[in-house]
Structure formats: C-alpha cells, structure tokens
Amino acid sequence: MILTFIFALILVELMVVAWVDYKTEKISNKWVAVNAAASVILHLTVRNLYPLSWEVLLFPVGFIVVGFLLYLMNIMGAGDSKFLASLFLIVPLEYHLLFFSKIVISTIVVGAVLLLIRFVKHGSQLKAYFMSQYWEGIKTTLKSRFSYAPVIFLAWIILGINIWN
C-alpha cells in the first residue's frame, strides 16, 4: 500500500515537472529541495524501503558527477542532472537499478526517434552537407536538445508497468 502511494506521488511530481520542462526547458531547483525534504521524511518513516546506508547515495552522487560532465559537454542541462539525483533520493532503494535501466532505455528510444525525425525533416540538406563534406553543418543540423524530464516520466511509467505486471 505504501509503495503504491509513493509511486503515485512520484508519478504526479514527474508529470508536473515533465510538463513544465517541456514548456520552459527548465527544471526549478525547488524540485530538488522538495525531493531532499521528502527523502528525509521517507528515510525516517519508511525504513524498510529507505534504509540508512551508503548504497542510497550511489545513484544520486553518480548523477551529479556524470551530469556535471554531460553539462560541460553541453549534452545535459544542469537542472536535469540535479533533479535526477534528487529524484533517486525518493525512489526506494530496491528500484534504483531497475529505474536506471528504464531511464537508459527511454533515453535511447527517444533520442533515436528524435534523430530519425531530424534525418527525415532535413534529409536533402544533410545530403548536400555530406556531399560537400561540410561536417560541421551535419553536426549542427543533427544536434538537438530536448526536455529530459518527459523521458524520466516515461521511464517511471515503464517501471510501474514492470512492477505491477
């Protein structure tokens, strides 16, 4: 019962954050604070799902470190990595690895679909760039930033389907 409640709360949060991120391309640091506060409450009250151990910090710290590197390479926004790190603080520990795998799959699928759309939309331009060996033009045309919170939301839905099926 408590797991269903926590899953639903995270689902609602992700729905709101995904919508705002899609519209504004920004994730507020307020969500990081909300998740940090919720994490403290959950770790103090639901100890069977939120044990006090170093393992709880593995994914959050990993997302901060890797997210910072991806931010420096202009691949991921700073808000995305901070939000993802804080989100893992409220995901029950036993679902960390499974949720991470769903995020990776969702990222690959969404990224591939968006890349395919760019190929279709800019096909003749890309062909001209390729024929003239204008590699920077190809890179600029194919490069696209997208709101990442909807991808996280999709991964959470897929996780829920896996858990309750």
Closest CA to 74 of 150, 28, 155, 139: 139
Closest CA to 101 of 27, 36, 162: 162
Does the structure show a pLDDT above 90 at 72? no
Question: Quick count: other Cβ atoms within 10 Å of Cβ 156?
Answer: 24
Mention every residue, 6+ apart, whose C-beta is less than 8 A from residue 58: 96
Identify the pLDDT of residue 75.
Answer: 78
Identify the pLDDT of residue 143.
Answer: 79
Query: Rounded to an integer, what distance in angstroms lies between the CA atom of residue 93 and that of residue 58?
Result: 10
Kindly report, residue by residue over 90-132, the tens digit of the pLDDT.
Answer: 999 999 999 999 999 999 999 899 889 888 989 899 889 999 9
143: amino acid identity, one letter = K
Does the structure show a pLDDT above 80 at 81? yes
Asked whether 56 and 44 are in contact (CB, 8 A), the reply is no
Asked whether 142 and 126 are in contact (CB, 8 A), the reply is yes
Mention every residue, 6+ apart, whose C-beta is less than 8 A from residue 65: none
Averaged pLDDT score across all residues of the chain: 92
Does the structure show a pLDDT above 80 at 145? no
pLDDT band at 12; cut points 50, 70, 90? very high
Place of tokens 């800019």: 122
Cα 123 to chain centroid distance, Å, stands at: 29
Kindly report, residue by residue over 34-53, the tens digit of the pLDDT.
Answer: 999 999 999 999 999 999 89
Mention every residue, 6+ apart, whose C-beta is less than 8 A from residue 63: 81, 84, 85, 88
DSSP 8-state symbol, 22? H
Kindly report, residue by residue over 147-161, the tens digit of the pLDDT.
Answer: 889 999 999 999 999
Asked whether 153 and 13 are in contact (CB, 8 A), the reply is no
What share of the chain has pLDDT > 90, as a percent?
A: 68
pLDDT band at 30; cut points 50, 70, 90? very high
